Amino acid sequence: MERVVGNMHQKVSLTGIKPTGMPHLGNYLGAIKPALELAEKYRARYFIADYHALNTIRDPKMLRDLTYEVAAAWLACGLNPDDVLFYRQSDVPETFELSTIIMAFTSKGLMNRAHAYKAVVQANEENGKDTDYGVNMGLYTYPVLMAADILLFDADVVPVGKDQKQHLEMTADIAQTINSNYGKTLLTIPEAIFHSTGQVVQGLDGRKMSKSYNNTIPLFVPEKKFRKIINSIVTNSQAVEESKDPEVCNVFSLYRLFASEEQQETLAARYREGGMGWGEAKGALFDVMNAQISPMRDVYNSLMADKSQLDAILKTGGEKARDIAAQKIAFLRKEIGLG
């Protein structure tokens, strides 16, 4: 839904972040940074999808800690809560009311086709288990809850990774069904914006950096640990004196993402001329990465040291989000004949 801000029409960008672990460098360059750039052009609503995380995180302390970690990480990466509406999904119970409304318009068949659910069913079949083994209703209705997150705030665009494509299609499908039933646009049809796949950040072993491969460089860990992780990047067994090819090196591919052109040329020359050990290359990588990350890490550490700031930011965001959500729910209740 377009809104007039000054004399500019500003569309809504919304995304949810599951608090399931400390973001890594791939998440930062591939998702967090692009979403924060979008926030400059759009009216942004970014939230912590803690109810979605409940499907997998069942330890209360862990869920709370991860929520803080992920919130602090986004703020440390530059999310400005004065510009971006930043909230916890669980602080907006209207989400669950909308979820119930839209369930009446969502065919079971649509949910049966969801990739994440289908993957569990398929694994069960392959392992000779009951089809529904390990499937809870949270997993089964995951796409409905996600649609409610999006439709509640009239999102125009939803920045996500390609893996979320189907969820966005389902959201649009559900919204269209509702709009066509009532013969008017009650819900804004959202469009996915996929983070560019142009720059896939490589992990410690040279494959795509991913939690599933256990090869990540977490964004915020103490400096000493950060150095240790960088030192664990897999390299070949070439001797110090040998000439090395920067184009086929895990260390250099990460260096490229953080170093200036000039720094890249200098290090590439060191590679080619020989006499450079992997320790030196990793040291150079640590220096450029740490220069960019350490100011953010300081912000992260100070937010984590005193949670009251985080509590206050999330509380204010939650209240603002609830105001918007309550209006939308009141509007929908009236339109559909409830109350």
As given in the structure block, the two tokens for residue 190 are 């959202």
Give yes or no for residue 150 binding ligand TRP (CB under 6 A): yes
Residues 16-35, interacting with ligand TRP (CB under 6 A): 16, 18
The answer to whether residues 56 and 137 touch, using CB atoms and an 8 Å cutoff, is no
Residue (of 73, 56, 173, 71) closest to 113 by Cα position: 173
Q: Which residue in 71, 76, 84, 158 binds ligand TRP (CB under 6 A)?
A: 158
Q: Which does 49 bind (CB under 5 to 8 A by kind): ligand ADP, ligand TRP, none?
A: ligand TRP
Kindly report the backbone phi and psi dihedral angles of residue 147, in degrees, each rounded to the nearest multiple of 5, phi listed first.
Answer: -65, -40
| Closest residue by Cα to residue 199 from 323, 6, 25 | 25
Say whether residue 212 binds ligand ADP (CB under 6 A).
yes
Return the half-sphere exposure (C-beta side, CA atoms, 13 A cut-off) of residue 210.
Answer: 7
Residues from 166 through 205 that contact ligand ADP (CB under 6 A): 195, 200-201
> Which residues within the stretch 54-113 sit at the binding site for ligand TRP (CB under 6 A)?
none
Applying CB under 6 A, does 160 fall inside the site for ligand TRP? yes
Give yes or no for residue 211 binding ligand ADP (CB under 6 A): yes
CB of 204 to ligand ADP, least distance (A): 11
Shortest Cβ 192–ligand ADP spacing (Å): 11
Please name the residue that has the structure tokens 């209240």: 319
Task: Supply the minimum distance, in Å, between the C-beta of residue 310 and ligand ADP.
Answer: 21
Rounded distance between C-alpha atoms, residue 286 and residue 280, angstroms: 10
Q: Which does 158 bind (CB under 5 to 8 A by kind): ligand ADP, ligand TRP, none?
A: ligand TRP
- Stretch of 14-22, 77-85, 124-132, 317-325 contacting ligand TRP, by CB under 6 A: 14-22
Can residue 26 be called a binding residue for ligand ADP (CB under 6 A)? yes
Our CB check for ligand ADP shows the closer of 75 and 160 to be 160
Closest distance to ligand TRP from the beta carbon of 147 (Å) = 8
The contacts found for 200-203 with CB under 8 angstroms, 24 or more apart, are 200/26, 200/30, 201/25, 201/26, 201/29, 201/30, 201/254, 201/257, 202/250, 202/253, 202/254, 203/26
Q: Is 49 in the site for ligand TRP (CB under 6 A)?
A: yes
CA distance 75 to 79: 5
Which of ligand ADP, ligand TRP, none lies near 200, with the C-beta cut-off 5 to 8 A by kind? Answer: ligand ADP
Cα angle 89, 91, 92; round to 5:
70
- Answer yes or no whether residue 45 interacts with ligand TRP by CB under 6 A: no
Supply the DSSP string of 170-234, one letter for each residue: HHHHHHHHHHHHHTS--SPPPEEEEPPSS-PPB-TTSSBP-GGGT---BSS--HHHHHHHHHT--
Cβ atoms of 216 and 254 closer than 8 Å: no
**Distance of closest approach, residue 213 Cβ to ligand TRP, in angstroms:** 17
Q: Please, which residue, 15 or 67, has the CB nearer to ligand TRP?
A: 15
114 binds ligand TRP (CB under 6 A): no
Instruction: Report the candidate in 97, 95, 137, 96 with the shortest Cα–Cα distance to residue 114.
Output: 137
**What's the min distance (Å) between Cβ of 13 and ligand ADP?**
15
Question: Do the Cβ atoms of 187 and 156 come closer than 8 Å?
Answer: no
The first and second tokens of residue 37, run together, are: 């750039």
Among 146, 170, 217, 285, binds ligand TRP (CB under 6 A): 146
Interface ranges with ligand ADP (CB under 6 A):
26-27, 29-31, 161, 163, 195, 200-201, 208-212
